[in-house]
Amino acid sequence: MSRIVVVGDLLLDRDVAGTVDRVCPDAPVPVVDVETEHARPGGAGLAAAMLAADGHHVCLVTAVGDDAAGHRVSGLLRQHGVELVAMPTEGRTREKTRVRAHGQSLVRLDTGTVCAPTGVPAAARTAVEGADAVLVCDYAGGMTGDAAVRAGLTAAAARVPVVWDPHLRGAAPVEGTRLVTPNQSEAAALAGGAVDGAPLTALAGQIEQLRDRWSVHAVCATLGPRGALLTLGSGAPIAVPAPPVPGGDTCGAGDRFASAAAAALADGEMVSAAVQLAVEAASAYVGAGGAEAFHSPAAPGTSAPRDPWERIESIRARGGTVVATGGCFDLLHAGHIRLLRDARALGDCLVVCLNSDASVRRLKGPQRPLVPEADRARVLQALEPVDAVLVFEQDTPVEALRRLKPHVWAKGGDYALTDLPEAAEVARWGGQTVVLPYLDGRSTTSLIDAARNRVTS
């Protein structure tokens, strides 16, 4: 995975949730009977935690107040596996508390002050210089306006992709930024146009204006459930529709979009492909419950391979059946699709145990795989039957299965259970191994041979 540095303003976000069944006797306001309180990193911290949940090595460069909120959010970041480079500040850590009932926000309470840095330590400069990509999360806290911080970001933009999530009261992106990601209202306001309900033609002109003004490579306006509109400065703007998702908590969707785009660019994707992946990630994040559901490093909402444990445990907790299957899945074909659909039909979720590149080479020879593991995992994760992908390094999936402990292990092909070394292991925890029918004549090897024959004939 990539090394991604997040630079921006840190917040502590708290959700206080409860139920409402009466109003206050001295005012027409609801009385919330508090049931739970959940704290998480906010602002640039949320984006960093999301990237760490995706498996990236993440360093957050930010100013942190020496106060209770600062200490708490620093601890939360460490729990999420985020390396923190704390810059000195005289400000007090900002804290945003949402009071929610029955899935709806009733009020938000904001405390704290602007936490602009009072100095840039050498560790911050070193972190940015060693990044594969940099994500800037501007929450108008003063980080992006600091001259030394901007100088470091300008130098970074000349070497690696920089993604900038702007704020109306924040600083302009540095020259050379690869992608700027305002939402529709921010883009219109920053361009000096209509804020709400602007036609697509007007919005396209606004983001092109911003691209030229800032001297950046691309600007992408996010459109909520309608997806995103991207301008690259040549040709027509690119509209990226969003997949339909059920209504959910949209808090943090912009951070999910920007973080997914930064990760994709760090992996070498083109800007247009990165935006497509970011739209899918943000949609999945909202559909999975948004910020309210972000409790651990295994939070949902990314199209990249992710840790399947949270999904598995939620299925187990409600008495569901966890199904797993495995293989190389190099050059996906109709036989693979049949296997995945049949396996998913056996239970309530499907985890694919995927051979790593090194594992495939040992099994199939030095010319395989044709498709690297990151791309194979991404394609699998995008398929409707697949809930999660787990890459394993060994020649067999036995170690992965010991960790997963699925109720059902499904293999495709003409096997007897004695042919499968993992069958005995699955039986140890009461699981069942089954063999699924495979479509005759469909295999990656036959596809490679057919392609080779056509080239030589």
Q: What is the per-residue pLDDT for 300?
A: 38
User: How far apart (Å, rounded) are the C-alpha atoms in residues 300 and 286?
Assistant: 9
- Taking only the tens place, the pLDDT of each residue in 383-400 is 888 888 888 989 889 988
Strand arrangement of the beta sheet that strand 30-43 belongs to: 30-43, 10-23, 94-101, 104-111
In the structure encoding, which two tokens stand for residue 440, read together? 């005759």
Residues forming a β-bridge with 388: 351
Asked whether the predicted pLDDT for residue 339 surpasses 80, the reply is: yes
Q: What is the mean pLDDT of residues 325-340?
A: 86
- Phi first, then psi, for residue 27 (nearest 5°) are -165, 150
Q: Provide the pLDDT for residue 417.
A: 54
pLDDT above 70 as % of the chain = 88
- Distance, CA of 116 to CA of 264 (rounded, Å): 29
- Residues 231-241 have a mean pLDDT of 88
Q: In what order do the strands lie in the sheet with 388-392?
A: 388-392, 349-355, 322-327, 408-412, 432-436
pLDDT tops 50 at residue 299: no
Span 202-227, average pLDDT: 94
What is the tens place of the pLDDT at every residue in 254-290?
A: 999 999 999 999 999 999 999 999 999 999 888 877 7
CA distance 97 to 275: 30
Comparing CA positions, the residue from 389, 402, 410 lying closest to residue 345 is 410
Non-local (6+) Cβ contacts of 153 within 8 A are 7, 128, 134, 136, 144, 162, 174
Strands 179-180 and 162-165, sheet pairing: parallel
Instruction: Give the C-alpha separation, 219 to 182, whole Å.
Output: 8
Number of H helices, E strands in the chain: 15, 18
Q: Is the pLDDT of residue 295 over 80?
A: no
The alpha carbon dihedral of 144, 145, 151, 157 has a sign of positive
Task: Output the pLDDT for position 127.
Answer: 93
Are 49 and 79 within 8 A, CB to CB? no
Q: In the numeric block, which tokens belong to residue 135?
A: 């994500």
CA 391 to chain centroid, in Å, comes to 17
In angstroms, what CA-CA distances link 250 with 107, 209, 238, 286, 289? 15, 28, 23, 6, 8
Domains along the sequence of the chain with CATH: 3-21+34-293 (3.40.1190.20), 309-456 (3.40.50.620)
- Predicted model pTM: 0.65
Question: Does the pLDDT value for residue 445 go beyond 60?
Answer: no
In this prediction, residue 62 carries a pLDDT of: 94
pLDDT at 298 over 50: no
Rounded to an integer, the average pLDDT of 2-25 is 92
Q: What is the pLDDT of residue 390?
A: 87
- What is the model's pLDDT at position 304? 38
Q: Is the CB of residue 139 less than 8 Å from the CB of residue 112?
A: no
Token pair recorded at residue 49: 């935690």
Question: What band does 305 get if pLDDT is binned at 50, 70 and 90?
Answer: very low
Tokens of 422: 């993992």
Complete DSSP assignment for 190-220: HHTS--SS--HHHHHHHHHHHHHHHT-S-EE
Residues in the chain: 457
Name the residues annotated as catalytic.
255
- The CA-based angle 298-241-293, given to 5 degrees, is 25
Say how far apart CA 216 and CA 209 lie, in whole Å. 11
User: Which amino acid appears at position 230 of this protein?
Assistant: L
